Chain A
Amino acid sequence: PGPQERILLRSLGLSAKPSPSSPGPVPPVLWRIFHKRRTLARPGEPQSCRVEEFHVPGDIVRVFADRGRFLPEGQPPGRLCLRKLLFFNLSALEEGERLTMAQLELRFHHNSYQPASPGQVLELRLYRASPGGLPRPGRSPLVERSFVQLRKSLPLDLSAALKDGAAPGSNLALVLEISAGGDGGTPRSPCGSSDAFAATSLLLVTLGPRCRAARGRR
């Protein structure tokens, strides 16, 4: 790239021109925010450095794809339905960016219309993982909750849990476990609709150095 392009890229906060190798689909939430901003934008109206959709300060919204892998269940069969290492490459975060929101999204292949019978309740636990991909011993889970998989998407707020950890330039490894909840699930399908699990992604909102400076100026 010529010197002008490098200057322009740097003014856009990019050290080099991105060359995506296998770009995935754009998450609907980003399209919604993008289109809303375009339709609401009025000349001269300084858009504040806030992401109104999440009610947090921020000028950069990123969705990181999960690069992890499924782990052997280990635990005696029957209760544990799914165990997955979630791995997010956060190297795109720049020095000076401040994390203001983190949301993990679990996506399922389809909505589930089965009536939520007692056996359909699932237990979810999310741990920080060691580099080897195992829950750090003795650490309580970041998130522990039961849920009934009804919709294709289940958002989990990790803002508080990650405020200290996702320092710019680091990677993030988590272990996700989904177990049969309640009385161990109906004999026919103890794991209920967790089979419909499709993928996870991590949405981060950060306040970049420019906006932080502008807010400071104000």
Chain B
Amino acid sequence: SPPSPPLTPSPLCKPRRLYISFSDVGWENWIIAPQGYLANYCGGDCPFPLAAELNSTNHAVLQTMVHSLDPQGTPQPCCVPVRLSPISILYYDNSDNVVLRHYEDMVVDECGC
């Protein structure tokens, strides 16, 4: 099969992979599970004209238009999470009790402008 085109990272706003390992932050002695998780983050541009798939607000559409007319005066809209998921963490608290806690908005699933 023809070689797949080189994967050039898209400059557009979208979720980027970010794996958080709790041992990297020195938390492995009290977090039981998970040992880490895929948190991701939003990165990329919100250029004019905002493509339909960029999940943007009306305000962002206007801002990109003004930015294209006056790049110095008006910045591009930001690329931010628009859909997140929760995770549950199992850990020991300071009294050695075992705690299972549910945390909302811990994983970035979708980004937008």
A residues sitting closer than 8 Å to B (CB atoms) are 5, 8, 12-14, 16-24, 26-27, 30-31, 33-34, 37-38, 41-47, 49, 59-65, 89, 91-92, 208, 210-211, 214
Majority DSSP secondary structure for residues of B touching A: strand
Q: Which A residue's beta carbon lies closest to that of B105?
A: A46
In the complex, 8 of the A-B residue pairs with CB atoms within 8 angstroms, ordered by the A residue number, are A18-B91, A21-B96, A26-B90, A31-B90, A41-B87, A43-B109, A62-B93, A211-B102
Majority DSSP secondary structure for residues of A touching B: loop
Question: Which one of A22, A41, A60, A65 lies within 8 Å of B99 (CB-CB)?
Answer: A60
Q: Which A residue's beta carbon lies closest to that of B108?
A: A43
Report the separation of the CA atoms of residues A21 and B85 in the bound assembly, to the nearest whole angstrom. Answer: 32
Q: How large, as a class, is the contact surface on chain B?
A: 20 to 34
Q: Which A residue's beta carbon lies closest to that of B83?
A: A44
Q: Which B residue's beta carbon lies closest to that of A67?
A: B95
Q: Which B residue's beta carbon lies closest to that of A92?
A: B93
Q: Are B98 and A92 in contact (CB under 8 A)?
A: no
Question: Is B69's beta carbon under 8 Å from chain A?
Answer: no
Q: Are B32 and A49 in contact (CB under 8 A)?
A: no
Sample of 10 more A-B contacts, CB < 8 Å, known A20-B30, A30-B100 = A12-B89, A12-B101, A18-B93, A20-B96, A23-B98, A44-B84, A47-B86, A60-B102, A61-B100, A62-B100
Q: Are B96 and A47 in contact (CB under 8 A)?
A: no
Q: Which A residue's beta carbon lies closest to that of B15?
A: A43
Q: Are B88 and A214 in contact (CB under 8 A)?
A: no
Report the separation of the CA atoms of residues A80 and B112 in the bound assembly, to the nearest whole angstrom. Answer: 67
Q: Are A62 and B98 in contact (CB under 8 A)?
A: yes
* Residues in A whose Cβ lies below 8 Å from that of B83: 43-44
Closest chain-A Cβ to B66's Cβ sits at a distance in Å of: 31
* Residues in A whose Cβ lies below 8 Å from that of B97: 62-65, 92
Question: Is B19's beta carbon under 8 Å from chain A?
Answer: no
